[in-house]
Amino acid sequence: MSPKEVIKRWVVLFNNGNADEIAELYHSDAVNHQVANEPVIGKKAIKEMFSQEFSTANMICIPEHIFEDGDWAILEWKDPLGLRGCGFFRVMDGKIKFQRGYWDKLSFLKMHNLPIPMV
């Protein structure tokens, strides 16, 4: 699959809340770094991250644009509550090797009535 095709599949699995299947889109040593959080390294840890996130909030990704350039895909997205963000995915051999996402964590926590950590 091309990077753009991988991201289209990723969106479907994300919206289904399927941590097992979405994890299969990643290399065994992939890195998922949502910049509001610490990087998550390895397919197993990424699966656990998605399992936790899917059990915490009902998240929906509505793609606005998906761009492809070489082995990179860029996903610009929104959700039904008004949150917006973007993700950068490096896809190698049909699997995600690296992902970086940008979104407003404070807005996400407030929208889903989740506790706001005090630091």
* Domain spans, the chain: 3-111
pLDDT of 16 above 80: yes
Q: Is the pTM of this model over 0.85?
A: yes
CATH of segment(s) 3-111: 3.10.450.50
Dump pLDDT digits (tens) for 85-110.
Answer: 999 999 999 999 999 999 777 777 78
Q: How far is CA 100 from CA 29, 45, 110, 114, 115, in A?
A: 15, 15, 22, 23, 24
Confidence at residue 58, expressed as pLDDT on a 0 to 100 scale? 87
Confidence at residue 103, expressed as pLDDT on a 0 to 100 scale? 78
- Ramachandran region of residue 94, left (φ > 0), alpha (ψ -120 to 50) or beta? left
Confidence at residue 60, expressed as pLDDT on a 0 to 100 scale? 94
Dump pLDDT digits (tens) for 54-88.
Answer: 998 889 999 999 999 999 999 999 999 988 999 99
Confidence at residue 85, expressed as pLDDT on a 0 to 100 scale? 95
Rounded mean pLDDT, 41-62: 95
Confidence at residue 38, expressed as pLDDT on a 0 to 100 scale? 95
pLDDT of 112 above 80: no
| Among the listed residues 65, 66, 72, the one whose alpha carbon sits nearest the alpha carbon of residue 96 | 72
Q: What percent of the chain has pLDDT over 70?
A: 98
